[in-house]
Amino acid sequence: MRKDISTPQSTKAILEKHGFTFKKSLGQNFLIDRNILNNIVNAADLTEDSGVIEIGPGIGALTEFIARASKKAVAFEIDQRLLPILKETLAPYPHVEVIHSDVLKADIHQVIREHFEEGQDLMVVANLPYYVTTPIIMKLLQDKLPIRGIVCMIQKEVADRLAASPGTKDYNSLSIAIQYYATAETMIKVPKTVFVPAPNVDSSVIKLTIRKEPAVNVKDEEFFFEVVRSSFAQRRKTLWNNLTSQLVSKEKKDELLSILEKLDIDPKRRGETLTIEEFGKLADSLLPLVK
């Protein structure tokens, strides 16, 4: 039986054989812990009929575990130098396809149409490069892909924000953006030592389960996010100060005050204390005032 790609010895041998050097600019940190890889894949609740999209497969450590648990997998790899390595390491898994592409520029809907069956159970499972975690997750959610959810390894600090509740120090506009589309749950915390090279930060595996409908029904999605961003523009400022400096003109302050009163939202509150439902009502009420 061949050794897993992910063992420290295998990883070292593969990298040496191909003379591979890590590119800091691509945030390359490869996983070398079987238990963690197993836990990531288990968190995705895959079946033998599932399809998986992976982002940044590296040398294929996580891809191998995905391949064993799914019917079909497609991995996006931006670094051309890894393509020959992946061809070799993933040779035993003909149902895995590697696409040389930047996922942020890719038409993922098109990829899904080409590689997966219609109505197939689909998950995104990835050890994401930390420098582009947020843009990738937001793209996956905003593209409204036909996926059940996302299980990914990300920086612990970012995971804490994604899953944060109102009134906590980690709760911010990103928490709301994510929780508008999905429910967020931290599955496991991961030490730096299970990576080669070790990153400077601890990591967490987070699971995002896509909602059938957004968390709140708003009249204008773009404006809803604009209100949220404005409310958090300066964290220490009150909702009133942020909204009047970012969104509502001086001439309309009285109208803003009456909207807040009607919604029973104290203008002295800070953005981080508002629930997603309160933001939804606030955005719908402010729409005619600002647009």
CB 223 within 8 A of CB 235: no
What is the C-alpha to C-alpha distance for residues 117 and 50, in angstroms, rounded to an integer? 10
Q: Token digits for 279?
A: 């933001």
Residue 68's nearest CA partner among 93, 35, 85, 39 is 93
Q: What is the DSSP letter of 168?
A: S
Query: Three-class SS string for 104-123?
Result: CCCCHHHHHHHHCCCCCCEE
Numbers of helices and strands, H then E, in the chain: 12, 9
Is 77 annotated in a binding site? The answer is: yes
CB 116 within 8 A of CB 162: no
Residue 240's nearest CA partner among 226, 261, 218, 220 is 261
- How far lies 87's CA from each of 58, 93, 98, 106, in Å? 12, 10, 8, 21
Is 56 annotated in a binding site? The answer is: yes
What is the C-alpha to C-alpha distance for residues 259 and 265, in angstroms, rounded to an integer? 9
Is 29 annotated in a binding site? The answer is: yes
Cα Rg, the chain, nearest whole Å: 22
Q: How far is residue 147 CA from its own chain's centroid?
A: 13
CB 231 within 8 A of CB 176: no
Residue reference for tokens 């995104």: 124
Which residues are annotated as part of the binding site for S-adenosyl-L-methionine?
29, 31, 56, 77, 102, 127
Which residues are annotated as part of the binding site?
29, 31, 56, 77, 102, 127
